[in-house]
Structures are given as structure tokens and as C-alpha cells.
Amino acid sequence: MRAFLGFMIFSGFEGIAAFSISMYIFRINLMRYGWQVLAVIALTNLQNFFIREEFLLSSVAPIINILIAAFFLNLVVRIPIIWSTILSIVGFVGIALIQSGIIFFSHGFFSLDEAQLHLWKQYAVQCLTGLIGFSAGWTLYKFGYGFSFDFDKLRLKWEHVAVVALICVFIATIGAMMYFREVFLNLLVFVFALLAILLYSFKKEDAEG
């Protein structure tokens, strides 16, 4: 239980850093979607925990993280799926660069070997990543720096239908993995969370229409 809570809480700092970088750099106000972002981070961390700890498929986790973030940015923030994917990749590359810098400039204090020996050092790196990522992104946004594009120029025809279809395929794939591993509770939470994102998207579309 302690390992689960530690993973969920401190991985949350990484999630905040990823969304701060991906949204603030592209002139999107993260605070406007505060609670939605936190909910998606919790969902992502939940999947990561089971995929890494239960399935031992840590190499798959980054791909799932990028897909979940892309779906969120597309359905909730209303960014075309192509740009949503690009922003998601930018965010996760950003936290990788931040953590690499922390490890490098620590002169071995926060090395990978040290993080494996001392869990608190891993948590410290995650906290620093969140702090640096959020601060850097917010500062750029606050002072008017970053990239500003007309995202709708790359919006595909029938994009909403295609994204819903992709989510269904995604759910089916992850669901099959969880079914054969008999992790039914995690499957239910995962499906419910993605369906909640879809319903929120439809309601927002109706309200804007």
C-alpha cells in the first residue's frame, strides 16, 4: 500500500511537469483545466503502476501515457489529434530532459543506481521535476513566450469519430491485457475514466454548440 501511494503521489509531480511543458509552451493556460489535468494524471499513474508492477511491461507505459494525454488534449482542450500527439510527446520529452539534467548536475547523488538503493532520492527527483517543469512552463506563459499556432488548420475531417474509434481500440487492447492478467478492478476504473472523458467532451461540445 505504501509503495502504491508513493508511486501515485510522486509520479503526479512528473505528470504536472509534462502537462505544464506541453500546454504552457504552446500558450495554453493549464490552470483553466486544473482538475481535469489532475484527474488524467491520476488515471495515467494508475495504469503505469499496474503495467509496470503487475504486468512488468515498463517499455509500454510511455506509449500509453502519450496516448492518454493526446486523447485528453483532443477531447477536453479541443486541440486537433495531430497537434495533441505532438504536444504530448513534447511534454514527456521535456520531463526526460529535466530529469537527465538533475541526474547529471547532481554528480552521482541522484544517479539511477542511487535511486534504486534509496527510494527517497527517486521521490526527490520526481518532486524536482514537477517543480522545474511547472515553474519553467508558467514563467514562459506569464511573460508571453512560447509557440502560438492556429491548431484548427490541422483538424482532420471526421476527426471526432476517428478519435472515439481509436479510444475504443485502445480500451479493447488494454482490456485484453488486463483480462488475461485478471486485473478486473483496474480494467473497470480505466474504462470508466476514459468514458468519463468522452462524456465530458460531448457535453462540452453541446454547450459550445
Residue 12 clears pLDDT 80, i.e. is over it: yes
Report, as an integer, the average pLDDT of 8-28.
93
Of 116 and 189, the structure prediction assigns the larger pLDDT to 116
Give the pLDDT band of residue 199 (cuts 50, 70, 90).
Answer: low
pLDDT of amino acid 127: 96
Which region among 29-33, 61-65, 94-98 has the lowest average model confidence (pLDDT)?
Answer: 61-65
Of 55 and 28, the structure prediction assigns the larger pLDDT to 28
Rounded distance between C-alpha atoms, residue 46 and residue 186, angstroms: 8
Which region among 90-99, 122-131, 188-197 has the lowest average model confidence (pLDDT)?
Answer: 188-197
- Residue 94 CB contacts under 8 Å (≥ 6 apart), including other chains: 17, 18, 21, 22, 25, 133
Instruction: Give per-residue pLDDT as tens, 54-69.
Output: 555 566 677 778 888 8
Return mean pLDDT, the chain.
80
Return the axis-axis angle of helices 61-75 and 81-105, rounded to nearest 10°.
130
pLDDT of amino acid 173: 67
Instruction: Give per-residue pLDDT as tens, 154-194.
Output: 666 666 677 777 777 766 766 666 565 545 555 566 666 66
pLDDT of amino acid 57: 56
Report, as an integer, the average pLDDT of 18-44.
91
- DSSP assignment of 148-194, as one string? ---GGGGPPTTHHHHHHHHHHHHHHHHHHHHHHHT-HHHHHHHHHHH
